[in-house]
């Protein structure tokens, strides 16, 4: 597919469908156990003066860093915030929600599945001028919770029998395909799909495997993810071939980006690439307790809590997304996507 790049940044806005990696506060408006509305969440988020905003990290998410770098505007508000509709045409909307998954059963005890969120977007988009929808960037970072849900130990007589990994991947891709086509049909033309990252290396998953050597990742989990990411990239290639004049789908290789950071963490200024900065040191990590242990210097840690990276790690990833080569974002990077011009 030919890529034509203009020399100016178009009037693009962000519409974000993601899990807790990008949640900017939607879960604060839901009856859910998955919230980040208490300290020390947000301790390094300067716009709020260090107060919690519903973000599941110490500071900015990747979306918070990438967006202003391209538009010099404030962050898209969470969809459920009272004033989100007012800012839809100037700042975009963040539909991200902690515990969200691709499969409807993932996170169902906590929040609505992605199909419900995209239905919300479908109905709310009629209030937004069509040309803004077509010039905006839609990004989806989702799938990590599906993996975590799949690898959790089954509870005898209570948990449903797990499907084979190959079947689970097929179901995930099939459900995601329906949602992507729905977004395209409602007018989305620039879409970013972030592959699943190093779930096998996060503190929570490593702690489930107590006999691993210190700092080791769970190989089987990462192999599962690599298989899924391969299928996701193949799907996006197919969608790009189907409608190269209608929409462009960009695949973000978050797995390799994060692996490079883990393997070369000192080069990126980190002193620790496996321990969590806040919470206890054994499951369930006590992540939601404001009095739990916290490291002194968050900028030296890759992981903020048992599941999510620090703002410092998010900044490294964001730079790769903005200006990385095709091994990081394919077929173009995020900065190029914002200036992408469709063939006439």
Structural domains of the chain, with CATH: 14-338 (3.40.50.1110)
pLDDT for 262 equals 93
Highest mean pLDDT of the ranges 81-85, 112-116, 161-165: 161-165
Is the link from the previous residue into 40 a cis peptide, with omega within 30 of 0? Answer: yes
Q: Which of 157-161, 194-198, 243-247, 310-314 has the lowest mean pLDDT?
A: 157-161
Cα 115 to Cα 179: distance, rounded to the nearest angstrom: 7
pLDDT digits (tens, 9 = 90+) for 165-191: 889 999 999 988 988 888 888 788 899
What does pLDDT average to over the chain? 77
When pLDDT is cut at 50, 70 and 90, the band that residue 16 belongs to is low
Q: Give CA torsion, residues 320, 321, 325, 329, to 10 deg.
A: 140
| Residue 292: Cβ within 10 Å count | 15
Q: Does residue 142 register a pLDDT over 90? A: no
Taking only the tens place, the pLDDT of each residue in 305-317 is 888 899 999 999 9
- CA dist 30 to 42, 112, 143, Å? 19, 9, 21
Q: What is the pLDDT of residue 214?
A: 59
- Could you write out the three-class secondary structure of the chain? CCCCECCCCCCCCEEEEECCCCCCCHHHHCCCCCCCCCCCCCCCCHHHCCCCCCCCCCCCCHHHHHHHHHHCCCCCCECCCCCCHHHHHHHEEECCCCCCCCCCCCCCCCCCCHHHHHHHHHHHHHHCCHHHHHHCEEEEECCHHHHHHHHCCCCCCCCCCCCCHHHHHHHHHHHHHHHHHHHHHCCCCEEEEECCCCHHHCHHHHHHCCCCCCCCCCHHHHHHHHHHHHHHHHHHHHHHHHCCCCCEEEEECHHHHHHHHHHCHHHHCCCEEEEECECCCCCCCCCCCCCCCECCCHHHEEECCCCCECHHHHHHHHHHHHHCCCCCEECCCHHHHHCECCCC
**What distance in Å separates the CA atoms of residue 107 and residue 8, rounded to the nearest whole number?**
40
Q: Is the peptide bond before 284 cis (omega within 30 degrees of 0)?
A: yes
Q: Whole-structure pTM over 0.85, yes or no?
A: no
């Amino acid at each position: 597919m030919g890529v034509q790049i203009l020399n100016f940044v178009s009037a693009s806005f962000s519409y974000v469908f993601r899990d807790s990696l990008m949640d900017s506060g939607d879960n604060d408006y839901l009856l859910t156990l998955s919230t980040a509305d208490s300290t020390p969440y947000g301790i390094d988020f300067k716009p709020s003066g260090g107060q919690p905003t519903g973000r599941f990290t110490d500071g900015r998410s990747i979306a918070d860093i990438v967006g202003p770098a391209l538009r010099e505007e404030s962050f898209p508000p969470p969809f459920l915030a009272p004033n989100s509709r007012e800012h839809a045409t100037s700042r975009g909307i963040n539909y991200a929600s902690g515990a969200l998954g691709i499969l409807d059963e993932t996170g169902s005890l906590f929040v609505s599945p992605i199909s419900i969120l995209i239905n919300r977007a479908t109905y709310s988009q009629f209030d937004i001028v069509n040309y803004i929808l077509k010039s905006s960037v839609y990004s989806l970072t989702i799938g990590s919770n599906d993996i975590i849900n799949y690898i959790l130990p089954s509870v005898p007589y209570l948990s449903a029998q797990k499907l084979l990994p190959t079947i689970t991947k097929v179901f995930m891709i099939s459900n995601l395909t329906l949602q992507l086509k729905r977004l395209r049909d409602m007018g989305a033309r620039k879409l970013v799909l972030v592959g699943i990252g190093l779930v096998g290396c996060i503190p929570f998953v490593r702690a489930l495997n107590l006999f691993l050597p210190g700092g080791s990742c769970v190989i089987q989990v990462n192999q599962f993810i690599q298989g899924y990411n391969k299928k996701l990239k193949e799907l996006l290639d197919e969608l790009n071939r189907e409608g190269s004049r209608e929409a462009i789908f960009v695949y973000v290789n978050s797995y390799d980006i994060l692996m490079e950071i883990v393997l070369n963490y000192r080069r990126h200024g980190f002193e620790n690439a496996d321990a969590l900065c806040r919470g206890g040191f054994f499951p369930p990590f006590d992540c939601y307790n404001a009095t739990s242990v916290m490291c002194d210097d968050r900028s030296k840690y890759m992981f903020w809590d048992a599941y999510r990276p620090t703002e410092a790690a998010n900044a490294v990833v964001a730079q790769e997304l903005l200006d990385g080569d095709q091994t990081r974002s394919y077929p173009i990077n995020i900065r190029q996507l914002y200036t992408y011009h469709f063939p006439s």
